[in-house]
Amino acid sequence: MAEHLYAVVPFCPHCGRRAESFRLLCERGGPAPGKAALCNQCGTWSVWDDDMDLRPPTIEELDVLDNDNEARGILREWGIDWVRRHLPPKRMQ
């Protein structure tokens, strides 16, 4: 999957937390204005603006993401990770 982890990021515009990393939707290299990034903390999409800050996506951008197979795959992977992190550990039998 064409995905990169990017270590130096601004705050997530949705949850306000500074994520350790964002999952980027990257067809062509690293983060760039107009590209989408998924917050690893809250699992919502943001879009890089011209100053390389993250802003919430527009409705139109969300529609594009909803129909993008790569974006859906990244979101699905994030959901599976989230469940794994939040499920209680299995008891030893």
Rule CB under 5 A: which residues touch Zn ion? 12, 14-15, 39, 41-42
Q: Which is nearer to Zn ion, 42 or 62 (CB)?
A: 42
CB of 39 to Zn ion, least distance (A): 3
Q: How many Cα atoms sit within 13 Å of 25 on the Cβ side?
A: 27
Nearer to Zn ion, 23 or 26 (CB): 23
Residue 93's alpha-carbon distances to 40, 52, 85, 86, 90, in angstroms, are: 33, 50, 21, 21, 9
Report, in Å, the least distance between residue 15 CB and Zn ion. 3
d(CA 84, CA 26): 25
Our CB check for Zn ion shows the closer of 17 and 72 to be: 17
Q: Rounded distance, CA 73 to CA 33, Å?
A: 21
Closest approach, Cβ 9 to Zn ion, in A, equals 10
